[in-house]
Structure 1
Amino acid sequence: MAKVTVRYWAAAKAAAGVAEEPYDAATLADALGAVRERHPGELTRVLLRCSFLVDGDPVGTRGHETVRLAEGGTVEVLPPFAGG
């Protein structure tokens, strides 16, 4: 398992009540599962609409269970943004 930082932005940050927090996870799916356990409720609903960056790279449509996390890495949780 890697120690990673999950950073929340906009609505995800508001729902989590924190800007970032540490997790131990091997994959993005593991990290998001741990987030859901720690923050049941509104954040779980917000995550359904989010996109994710892992160490600055967009996850896109890849399966979250296939996205490996590196020690000291960062997962950015990005809700949809308005504007153009």
Structure 2
Amino acid sequence: MQDGHVTTTIRYWAGARAAAGVADEQTSARTLAEALLLARSTRDDRFGKVLEVCSFVVDGDPVGGRDHGSVALADGGLVDVLPPFAGG
């Protein structure tokens, strides 16, 4: 952990996985906002558009409407990226 950054796994589901091109990846960031910015920086605009409609769950806790910059990440933690799902 350097400068408060922690290593966290981002796990992509369904359409987010297709847009990311990977099922999961590790990132070094302090907040959810930083982790998403890093993930976007290596991909095209399509990926960013998918993220805009996704929900996020950090270590089992839904982020909901919280500011992503206020959501701290834990070392060894898990961020689930969930696109909207159809069905009932």
Which range, TM-score by smaller chain?
over 0.9
Q: CA deviation at 1:71?
A: 0.2
SS in 2 for 1:81: coil
For 1:29-40, list aligned pairs within 5 A: 29-40=33-44
SS in 1 for 2:34: helix
SS in 1 for 2:9: strand
Tell me how many residue pairs correspond in the alignment.
Answer: 84
In 1, Cα distance between the equivalents of 2:43 and 2:63? 22
Q: Which moved more, 1:32-41 or 1:5-14?
A: 32-41
In 1, Cα distance between the equivalents of 2:60 and 2:44? 26
SS in 2 for 1:61: coil
Give the alignment's TM-score, normalised by structure 1: 0.97
Q: CA deviation at 1:41?
A: 2.3
Q: Which has the larger radius of gyration?
A: 2
Q: Which moved more, 1:22-31 or 1:33-42?
A: 33-42
For 1:1-84, list aligned pairs within 5 A: 1-84=5-88
Task: Provide, for residues 38-67 of structure 1, a one-character-per-residue CA deviation record: whole Å limited to 9, x for no partner.
Answer: 112211110010000000110000000000
Unaligned runs of 5+ in 1: none
Q: Once the two structures are aligned, what percentage of the paired residues are identical?
A: 57
Unaligned runs of 5+ in 2: none
SS in 2 for 1:83: coil
Give the alignment's Cα RMSD to 1 decimal. 0.6
In 2, Cα distance between the equivalents of 1:54 and 1:39? 22
